[in-house]
Amino acid sequence: MSKTVNKFSQALIAAYDRTATPHYDKTISVNQLVAELATWYEKFRTAIDYREDEVILRSTIERILKRRLILGGNGQSVAAPLIRELIWARYFPDSSVPESLVTEVAEIIDLYLNLEAEIDKKHRINKGLISEWILNLLSSEIEHILKPNDPKDIMSNFIFRIFKDKIAISDDSEETRDLQVFIAARRAYASDDLALLRYHLFKQYFERLNKDNLDKIAEHFPKALAQIEYQFKHPAKDKIYTYIKNQVIPFLILDDVLRKHRGKASALAADEDLMNAEVLSACNFRYKTIAGKVRRAIIRSVIFIFFTKAIFALLVEGTFERFIYGYVIWSSMALNTLTPPLLMIIVGFFIKSPGRDNSMRILRKIDTILYDDPPELDPPLAVKKKPGKTGPVFWTLFILLWLTTFVVSFGAMVFILTKLHVNPLSQAIFIFFLAIVSFVTYRINRTANMYTMKDRKDNFGSLFFNFFFLPVIQVGRRLTMAISQINIILFIFDFIIETPFKGIFAFFEQWFLFLRTQREKLD
């Protein structure tokens, strides 16, 4: 049966109908043995730097840039090795990146280095902050150069267009509303981190950096930085993000279907029966991938927690026990070290895939997104920049209840550990890592349910969870973010191990090339 897409979806379908233009330039090829070794190294390195899968490529580019630029590199010396490292680690298939992109990447590196120098010359801004911004912007720009016309951007923009008129901030401007909806759409659908969000807002503020607008950007950079950072702290941001996040599942499946039929999206959308079949097929495929996603998340989390925990156990806990008691209490250390990874592994046994009823709910949502005018989604959201004030009596009561949840949750842990005769420092380390495990487990559970459309009404179970476990998870979130920033293991890997390691990879790749050249002379 034939159907006509609504006005919102026409541009989306047209975007997926445009196929990528094939390139015929010479491409970059790497040695497969070196690539195999580099891939295993990269898997381990990303595991101890706990990030979402969607931002690993950008963060890897930033890591390589930081390592190479700190030694005085520039565009010409950094671009080619950077791209080779990415291909080694199989972020891009072998022979898929044209050599012409090396020049483009080199030029953009030099542009951003010049921008940093001009900003430093014109303004008195913290150099660490400017360096962080430049690396964020540059790594995001390079990712978009290497992955142009990413469907992730197409769908994010479509989500923005659908929701911007369904959300209102009654005491703020439409411009702010649009920015908040844009940020929420990028976070909810594309899982953008802070660096990518900065990059997208930077481009909206200035357009893409080039030689012509470099001086203008350097002149107005402090004002742009302040306005962009203000948007990340807007009081309504979390409510808008949650509103869109709760409705993003059908868009994830729709993207799968349209990517599969890229170049033929119009014919697919016009055929209702074919579209329905493809949606249900995409749902089933995604459900089958959930177990693999969860397994990878658990493995990465166990590595992240175990290696971080090992340092605390051996350097801090062991030293303390030897100093106080004269010996190391290995049973306490084993309990403290092995419990968090074991909890993570146990989580994997309770993962369930969604059923056909969930697929039908997704199908109905996709149907309204594509064909209803306007699409019938959740009721519109109205928020305020300055929410209504809670009375002082209620506010005090809420604060006391919130503090009570912390006391009850953490007090129960201290009580149990004390009964087990665990010393105070070991207790502190155990609670420290249990909080991290709680947050990581929450993230894994969210991954396991990323395609499940649930009833979001509160019940006794959710109230119990919020009261006893939410405080622990919130503490774990803050600790995880802090560890990711200051993890000594990451510093050791990036500047003590990775630099010579990648140098060895480059040497052997050249050596294998030399041997192949010599062998070809015999033919």
pLDDT of residue 203: 94
pLDDT band at 289 (very low <50, low <70, confident <90, very high): confident
Phi and psi at residue 381, to the nearest 5°: -110, 130
**Residue 267 sits in the same domain as residue 180:** no
- 227, 226, 245, 232: which is closest to 167 by C-alpha? 245
The length of the chain is 523
**Residue 313 sits in the same domain as residue 432:** yes
pLDDT of residue 185: 95
- 86 in any annotated domain: yes
- 288 in any annotated domain: yes
Whether the per-residue pLDDT at 114 is higher than 90: the answer is yes
**Mean pLDDT to the nearest integer, 201-205:** 93
**Residue 402 sits in the same domain as residue 443:** yes
- 129 in any annotated domain: yes
pLDDT band at 65 (very low <50, low <70, confident <90, very high): very high
Whether the per-residue pLDDT at 312 is higher than 70: the answer is no
pLDDT of residue 117: 93
Q: Which of 38-52, 157-171, 190-204, 434-448 has the lowest mean pLDDT?
A: 38-52
- 507 in any annotated domain: no
Does residue 255 or residue 323 have the better pLDDT? 255
Number of domains within the chain: 2
**Residue 316 sits in the same domain as residue 228:** no
Contact 406, 471 (CB under 8 A): yes
Whether the per-residue pLDDT at 15 is higher than 60: the answer is yes
**Residue 81 sits in the same domain as residue 229:** yes
Greatest CA separation for the chain: 90
**Residue 458 sits in the same domain as residue 319:** yes
- 45 in any annotated domain: yes
Condensed to tens digits (0 to 9), the pLDDT of residues 80-105 reads 989 998 998 888 988 888 988 999 99
- 243 in any annotated domain: no
Domain that holds residue 74: 21-148+173-235
Residue type, 56: I
Of the chain, the percentage scoring pLDDT greater than 90 comes to 32
Ranges 270-279, 310-319, 344-353, most confident = 270-279
pTM greater than the 0.85 cutoff = no
**Residue 229 sits in the same domain as residue 264:** no
Does residue 139 or residue 19 have the better pLDDT? 139
- 57, 107, 116, 120: which is closest to 85 by C-alpha? 57
Does residue 211 or residue 312 have the better pLDDT? 211
Ranges 37-41, 281-285, 372-376, most confident = 281-285
- 158 in any annotated domain: no
**Residue 211 sits in the same domain as residue 320:** no
- 506 in any annotated domain: no
**Residue 372 sits in the same domain as residue 449:** yes
**Mean pLDDT to the nearest integer, 213-236:** 93
Condensed to tens digits (0 to 9), the pLDDT of residues 324-347 reads 666 666 666 666 667 666 776 776
**Residue 69 sits in the same domain as residue 133:** yes
**Residue 361 sits in the same domain as residue 410:** yes
Condensed to tens digits (0 to 9), the pLDDT of residues 402-413 reads 777 778 778 888
Q: DSSP string of 261-275? A: TTT-HHHHHHBHHHH
**Residue 215 sits in the same domain as residue 346:** no
Tokens of 160: 């923005």
Mean of pLDDT over the chain: 81
